[in-house]
Chain A
């Protein structure tokens, strides 16, 4: 499973449409390199990146906190 596929799995959640972050059907086509100016998606991408690269959870958490700080 590539990180793009993992990202799509997360973005398939109906919450993204409910909160108008994504349009219906958009999640299936999204690419890893697509620059979505949304903190929620950015958080997910940092988490996936950290998991795939076997980064320590502390480091990933720090990156996310920095983003949201």
Chain B
């Protein structure tokens, strides 16, 4: 079955009439985020299932909830008075029968000015052309409608064929142990073997019951036989109960073993994380201390400007200048003092000499004053003119009586004497000169110490960052949080104890079941011993054949399933390698590991068989996709592979551009037809060219979609349309 086209009319951002035509191979719709890819996926889904994916609620919601949200805003705005019809039409072509199926869904709203009335529900119509060239006829028989829809995409296959990128994770849920088994059951032929096994069990049970009835009817002691039969039935019921318990316990055991194994694989990492965390704390403490020390050093740096007299740096010459000036001042002061002293000494000497020639007041002052007045010396009787040397000498006799011997006082040397202050200043300067001499060394020492502390801080910080990075890597690789790492050992012990306890319980149950089977065998022997006649050979033969049939049917089913798992493993690795060709970092080997309860779980191992734990989301998605593709490709040539079209929105968004081409090659090999919405080819032109030209990719039709208004510039959607451009 090939999906030939989708037509959209006024559906969400697809205003007016829009059509995409598809062929076999990989069909790609390219568009950036917000360009309408998901709306196109919604359109496919809406036609088939009357639901669209609500990204805000992460669930599909029906038209009855979405209502006018399905209708193009532009179409809605343009109609003032009347109806707006939205429809989407899918055309499928069954190439074997050359018949065509058209599935259409429509929805209407009615406008009367600003008033909008919404239809309650959408309407689905299915048309069929028995031969492609004939006219289509509407199919109205509900049974036939279901048949057609089942032919297009059976409900149980839908999750593996139609999905959005964000749904991939849930297709194979690693947290649900039977998820892979379910996928294998749905997508493989194993269900045939399951059906035959079921038939064989039913036939065997009936034949055994028939034989039992016959045995009892031929009993020589019917009362005892009836009692034995009652015992047998009771035992069978008990055994069935025990078997149910055994299954449940095996499930629990498988989970506990899985958890235990996961934890034991994590223990080493947890130990490393714990050690690193201890180291980290220690370094963090040291770093805080060093930061505090550095802060203190910065603060004391400012204080040292004054306490260590750094402010005086460069003032050495001031003291030298001052010393010189002070020295000159002191010299001058001493010189002046000496000169003054000499003068006083000379005057005192004259006084002393005068005193030795004439005593004081001889002649008496009145006679001296008369001689001065008369300008005539009465002692030697000679003329002494005023102003002459003789007159002055006489006059000295008058002043001599007031002259006394003089001594030198500080006031004689200077009027304002600062010599004490100057000296003190000099002495202070002497002390400071020593400090100033040490300032450079002190500054150098201080900055050296700061650098040393800062280097220590940097080293500690670098070490801290490295350790934190190591911890983060370990956390992301192992998926163990720091708190979890602390509790991991106890968690492991708990899970291990659970596993051991379940194992013991399973063993006990197995013993009980074995004992019950022994008891049943004994009852059967007792019943047989009571038989008097002959049991028909045909019945015995029938019982024997059907017992063997049940045994073989069960063994065959298990063997085929194991072979299928091995084949899937090979196929999954093949696809995984194809998809990861361009990026070796994701390499590993997919292993489908069998659990205690018989279920399987995919895991990635390295070449030594060590499980690569806690892979990134991209890897996990690739493993899941590879496994799904393996299930599909393993049955290539069967109807299911050819019949259904893979429709997926943004499946590559989580694993990066390196894998895009590998994914497309694999998809084009595995699926006869696929329709993929992708943004990767929009952003990367080289990828786009490779998609269109790579001979290893069976490319179908490729379209580019662009909105009339970019999402960032939209204030509303009332003029929004979507442009579709075919690229090939």
Contact = CB atoms under 8 A, between A and B. Distances in A.
B538 A69 contact: yes
Contacts of A9: 193, 556, 559-560
A3 to B, nearest CB: 9
B186 interface: no
Given A1-B192, A61-B202, A69 B545 contact: no
Contacts of A65: 203, 206, 542
Interface stretch (B17-25, B326-334, B546-554, B690-698): B546-554
Contact of A57 (B202, B548, B556, B559): B202
A44 B192 contact: no
B278 interface: no
Contacts of B638: 1
Interface in A12-67: 12-13, 15-16, 19, 39-40, 43-44, 47-48, 50-52, 57, 60-61, 64-65
A26 to B, nearest CB: 15
Main secondary structure of the interface of A (DSSP, over half): helix
B189 A61 contact: no
A12 B192 CA distance: 17
Contact of A6 (B192, B549, B635): B192
Contacts, number: 69
A64 to B, nearest CB: 6
Given A1-B189, A39-B545, A47-B199, A13 B538 contact: no
Contacts of B541: 39, 68
Contacts of B193: 6, 9
Interface of B: 189, 192-193, 195-196, 198-200, 202-203, 206-207, 538, 541-542, 545-546, 548-549, 551-553, 555-556, 559-560, 635, 638
A10 B192 contact: no
A10 B199 contact: no
Contacts of B553: 10, 47
Nearest to B556: A10
Contacts of A61: 199, 202-203, 206
Contacts of B546: 43, 64, 68
A45 B181 CA distance: 27
B552 A13 contact: yes
A1 to B, nearest CB: 5
A62 B196 CA distance: 14
Contacts of B199: 47, 50-51, 57, 60-61
Nearest to B191: A51
A53 to B, nearest CB: 12
A10 to B, nearest CB: 5
Nearest to B198: A57
Highest count of chain A CB atoms <10 Å: which of B196, B207, B551: B196
A68 B538 contact: yes
Contact of B551 (A1, A12, A15, A52): A15
Contacts of B545: 39-40, 43, 68
A69 B196 contact: no
Contacts of B552: 10, 13, 15-16, 44
A68 B198 CA distance: 18
